[in-house]
Amino acid sequence: MTPTPDPSHEAGSAYDGLLEHHEVAGDDSQWAFGTDFEDPLAGVDTTVPDDVDAAALATYCLMLGDDALVMSHRLSEWTSNAPDLEEDIALANTALDLLGQARLLLARAAAADASVVPALPAGSPVPAEDALAFFREAGAFRNVRLAEVPNGDFAHTMVRLLLFSTARLAVLGRLVDSRDPVLAAIAAKGVKELTYHRDYAGRWFLTLARGTDESHRRLLAALDELWPLYPELLATHPVEAAVAAAGVGVDPASVAAEVDVVLEQVLAVSGVERPDKAALAGVRGRTGRDGLHTESLTRLLAEMQVVARAHPTGLW
């Protein structure tokens, strides 16, 4: 018997008819989740508040934005490499959450003080937030060093995510009351995301700590390696002190006790002792917040920025 030809193949593709009947403006029913995603900054006044130092606000936004951008890249490196599909998706989604935060914060930094945006070739269509992500050198990044160190095993990633998200959640939890409406809106969105990130990492911390001898050993090794980087998350930089005094930012030292309580609870229920490790020192007082980084950040940026730098006038 000769099969009846499928008319959809006559145009050269079995998928040519997928958008048929959906060409009416505003009809996005062909998309699984629609296209009408809420803009967290819709209707928000982006004017820098009176009596606020725009340069300090921009630098503060770079600090929070760079933390999210670099941490997002490290988490994205797990894509297709996680222990199973569920964790692969969870880590990818966490990376996307942080990337979204980074984009908003870098855009805010550029709007507050355009001088922080690196110069690009004339006519380049690259948005300011992309310019900040892809065309700054390592010394211009303000992220904490915890975010940039290379990935270890899965236990290493869960320990880092627990430390990072616990501290960041506490900061953004207070940033929702910022006098800057933009930062307040970004924080309100970020709190929901970071609550999941912290709980996800905390559950895995407990699972690994009380699992097999091998998972317990790996968790302790990761905690021992990363703990010296943790204090930098809660150390007060002069810029953070200035924006906190102006009512637009948060002094991370002010949430240190809150963060410590959460971590102590996780350690206690997991049966893990608090590491007795000194904080990683800076160089002449300079740390990641001042642009002092490990060699790992230079390598990370080389990979992250290579396409954009090869095509600086490209439109993505």
User: How is 130-151 classified by DSSP, letter by letter?
Assistant: HHHHHS--GGG----GGGTSPP
| Mean pLDDT of all residues in 301-310 | 94
Positive or negative, the Cα torsion across 171, 172, 175, 177?
negative
**Cα 73 to Cα 52: distance, rounded to the nearest angstrom:** 31
- Percent pLDDT > 70 in the chain is 86
283: helix, strand or coil = strand
* pLDDT > 70? residue 209: yes
Residue in 106, 74, 262 with CA at minimum distance from that of residue 169: 262
* pLDDT > 70? residue 208: yes
* pLDDT > 70? residue 192: yes
Q: What is the pLDDT of residue 41?
A: 62
Tokens describing residue 65: 């934005």
pLDDT category at 31 given cuts 50, 70, 90 is very low
Q: What is the pLDDT of residues 173-182, one digit of tens each?
A: 999 999 999 9
* pLDDT > 70? residue 26: no
Please list, in sequence order, all residues whose beta carbon lies within 8 angstroms of the beta carbon of residue 225, skipping any fewer than 6 positions away: 152, 156
| Mean pLDDT of all residues in 130-139 | 95
Q: What is the pLDDT of residue 50?
A: 85
Q: What is the pLDDT of residue 160?
A: 98
Q: With a threshold of 0.85, does the pTM exceed it?
A: yes
Among 127-136, 238-247, 256-265, the range scoring the smallest mean pLDDT is: 127-136
pLDDT category at 226 given cuts 50, 70, 90 is very high
Max Cα distance, the chain (Å): 84
The larger pLDDT score, comparing residue 46 to residue 136, is at 136
**Cα 144 to Cα 128: distance, rounded to the nearest angstrom:** 22
| Mean pLDDT of all residues in 120-129 | 84
Length of the chain as a residue count:
316
| Mean pLDDT of all residues in 210-228 | 98
Q: 54-310: what fold?
A: Ferritin (1.20.1260)
Q: What is the pLDDT of residue 8?
A: 43
| Mean pLDDT of all residues in 248-277 | 97
Q: Give residue limits of the domains in the chain.
A: 54-310
| Mean pLDDT of all residues in 236-254 | 97
pLDDT category at 46 given cuts 50, 70, 90 is confident
pLDDT category at 185 given cuts 50, 70, 90 is very high
Q: What is the mean pLDDT of the chain?
A: 89
**Cα 300 to Cα 36: distance, rounded to the nearest angstrom:** 33
Q: Are 8 and 19 in contact (CB under 8 A)?
A: no
286 φ, ψ to 5°?
Answer: -95, 140
- Percent pLDDT > 90 in the chain is 75
Tokens describing residue 13: 């593709």
Q: What is the pLDDT of residue 35?
A: 43
